[in-house]
Amino acid sequence: MKKMTDISKLLEINQLGDERGLLTVIEEKTTIPFEIKRIFYIHGTMPNVRRGFHAHYKTRQALICVSGSCKVYLDNTKRKTDVVLDSPIKILILEPNDWHEMYDFSPNCVLLVLASHLYDAEDYIRDYEKFIEVYGS
Ligand code: TYD
């Protein structure tokens, strides 16, 4: 696994494969730096849709575009970045304090999300002012 240099949280994992096709492996702890408690995927999203608009108190996440592509806007109160997820070997690790918005979904996009905690609506910070209050310095 190689850490990409320009964006510290974007990892590139090894792609295995032979004449039969490709195979990519994700392992808890080895690839993903947390225990995986929940998996969900976002698909069938229209290209003009922007979603997310939240951060968390506890949940860490790993985002992988297993099909197609999308972009992710990140804001950790100190740095704002746009990341392109356009390959099934790219993994974007989101910390709880990463405000994130997903956009520019390709029609075939399947965005797989591995999460460190079970779903809990109370773990979401959906108000940007609250996000700055909690995480801004
Ligand atoms: P939402 O958080 O609005 O999606 P996004 O942040 O990508 O815009 O989630 C959509 C709906 O799905 C919302 O009613 C909450 C529900 N949901 C669950 O029940 N469990 C989950 O693990 C997730 C991620 C969402």
Higher pLDDT, 57 or 3: 57
| Nearest-CA residue for atom 18 of ligand 1 | 119
- Please compute the mean of the pLDDT values over residues 5-18 and round it to a whole number: 80
pLDDT at 65 over 90: yes
Q: How far is CA 41 from the centre of its chain?
A: 11
Model pLDDT, residue 8 = 62
Q: Is the beta carbon of 40 within 6 A of some atom in ligand 1?
A: yes
Is 54 known to be catalytic? yes
Helix, strand, coil shares of the chain, percent, nearest 5, are 10, 45, 45
Q: Is the beta carbon of 68 within 6 A of some atom in ligand 1?
A: no
- Please compute the mean of the pLDDT values over residues 50-69 and round it to a whole number: 98
**pTM over the 0.95 mark:** no
Question: What length is written for the chain?
Answer: 137
Q: Which amino acid is at 128?
A: Y
Q: Is the beta carbon of 41 within 6 A of some atom in ligand 1?
A: no
Number of the ligand 1 atom closest to the C-alpha atom of 54: 6
- The band of 6, judged by pLDDT with boundaries at 50, 70 and 90, is very low
Dist. CA 106–CA 67, nearest whole Å: 9
Number of the ligand 1 atom closest to the C-alpha atom of 53: 6
- Determine the distance separating the centroid of ligand 1 and the alpha carbon of 132, expressed in angstroms: 22
110-129 tens-digit pLDDT: 999 999 999 999 999 999 99
| Nearest-CA residue for atom 17 of ligand 1 | 119
What class is the 25-128 domain? mainly beta
- The band of 51, judged by pLDDT with boundaries at 50, 70 and 90, is very high
Model pLDDT, residue 63 = 98
Point out which residues pair with 93 in neighbouring strands: 62
